[in-house]
Structure formats: C-alpha cells, structure tokens
Amino acid sequence: MSKGIPIATIARLPVYLHGLRLLTDRGVSVVSSEELANLTAVRSTKLRKDLSYLGSYGVRGVGYDVSYLTHQISRAMGLTQNWAVVLIGIGNLGQALAGYGGFSSRGFQIKALLDADPKKIGSIVGGQSVLHIDQLERVFSENANSIAVLAVPESAAQGICDRVVGAGVTSILNFAPMVLQVPSSVELRKVDLSIELQILAFYEQRKLANSSALLNSV
C-alpha cells in the first residue's frame, strides 16, 4: 500500500503541506486538486497522482478535506511525531536555522546547539544556550533517533560527520558545500545554497544567448 511512494512524490509532499497550511489559515475547509495545484505550482494531475500513492483521501465531485488531507500527508511523511534535531555549527547560517520558524512548526524540535568556538559557548541563540562540541556524544546518547544538522565550515564537516555517525546518528542534513562520506546505513541529504544560484545563471545565460542570436538573425 503505502510501501512504494516514489522519491519524487516524497519531495513534493512538504510543498503540498505548505499549501494546505495556507488554506487552513484562510479558513478554507475543502479544496480541489486544481486549486491546491495552483497554490503549489504543479499540475493537478500530478498532484492527484501523488496523493493516490498515499491512499484515496478525496471525494469525487467534491475535492479534499483540508484538515483530513493535512493529517494524512503528515502521517505518511512521519511528521505527526516530534523529531529531535541537534544543530551543529552556530555561525551565521546556524543562527538562521536556529531561529527558523519552519522547523518548529513542522514538529522539529532543536534539542541542542553545538559549536567549537569557545567565544560562542554559553551564548543564547534561538532561546537556548550553545554547548561545546565536546558534548556531542553525550547529547546524542541522551536524544535517541535525533537528526543531526551540520552547518559547519567545509574544512570541519567530514570530521564532525564522522563523530556524529560514531554517536549512532542515522539521519544527517548537511549544509556545508561538500560531499560527505557516510556508511550506506546512514541517510544523508544536502542543501547547497549556491547550486540553485548557479542553475539560475545557466538559464539567464541561455536567455541572453538566445536574444543576441535573435538580434543577429534580424
């Protein structure tokens, strides 16, 4: 049943959840696939196909109940439970992440902030005190099944990653712009803030190239 949800679908479910939250805020209780698709910049057929992998939660001729669909997607994604997150690296990006509302609103609870810089230890960021990186193993042993979020400099990333894996963590989100090596049993995902910018540059370049080609052909 809900065994084989395609990876591409899973990546879109959070976007649908966001659209549903907007509708909830507006007091909308029922939505059609067409309307929700417009809010989330996908085609309605794709949305319906995606939802069909989770089950049949709509009503034909009517649409989807917003709160019921929200619950079903959340459940499918494992967001009905609270997730413990440990944030490592409290630089600019780490501070941004610590204060980012999108985490707590989705059930992610930041259990600890770790940094190696003695000047940062004890300072309050996002409502809690920064701990020294030496506490890493203790923090993870006290918070089983935590997700580690790495916002450390590139040069430190692999070393910290190894310690995190050694502490038994099986889910890591990496913001450092580098490829980390982990055992295959560990789920690792990466966010590189500059990759999307480079992709934009590619499209912008092509646009400029096309318009100058157009000029030449006139």
Chain residues binding a copy of itself by CB under 8 A are: 10-11, 13-15, 17-19, 22, 39-41, 76-79, 81, 83, 85, 91-93, 95-97, 99-100, 102-103, 106-108, 145, 147, 149, 170-173, 177-179, 187, 189-208
- Considering only 22, 29, 43, 204, the residue that binds DNA (CB under 7 A) is 43
Residue 6 interaction partner, one of a copy of itself, DNA, none, beta carbon < 5-8 Å per kind? DNA
Closer by beta carbon to a copy of itself, 62 or else 96? 96
Classify residue 32 as exposed, middle or buried by CB count within 10 Å of its CB (0-12, 13-18, 19+): middle
123 touches 61 (CB < 8 A): no
Helix (H, G, I), strand (E, B) or coil at 110: strand
- In whole angstroms, what is the distance from residue 83 CA to residue 104 CA? 9
Q: Which residues contact 21 (CB under 8 A, 6 or more apart)?
A: 70
Which C-beta is closer to DNA: that of 51 or that of 150? 51
Instruction: Decide: residue 192, CB within 10 A, 0-12 exposed, 13-18 middle, 19+ buried.
Output: middle
Cα(172)–Cα(164) distance, integer angstroms = 8
When CB distances are held under 5 to 8 angstroms depending on the partner's kind, the choice from DNA, a copy of itself, none that residue 48 binds is: DNA
Q: What residue 150 binds from a copy of itself, DNA, none (CB within 5 to 8 A, per partner kind)?
A: none
Q: Among residues 73 and 133, whose Cβ is nearest to DNA? A: 73
How many residues of this chain bind DNA (CB under 7 A)? 26
Q: Kindly tell me which residue out of 22, 28, 59, 178 binds DNA, with binding defined by CB under 7 A.
A: 59
Asked if 101 and 73 count as a contact pair (C-beta separation under 8 A), the reply is no
Among positions 3-32, residues that touch DNA (CB under 7 A) are 6-9, 31-32
Token duo for residue 188: 């690792």
- Can you read off the two tokens belonging to residue 83? 């997730």
Closest distance of CB 58 from a copy of itself, Å: 21
Binding site for DNA (CB under 7 A): 6-9, 31-34, 42-46, 48-49, 51-52, 56-64
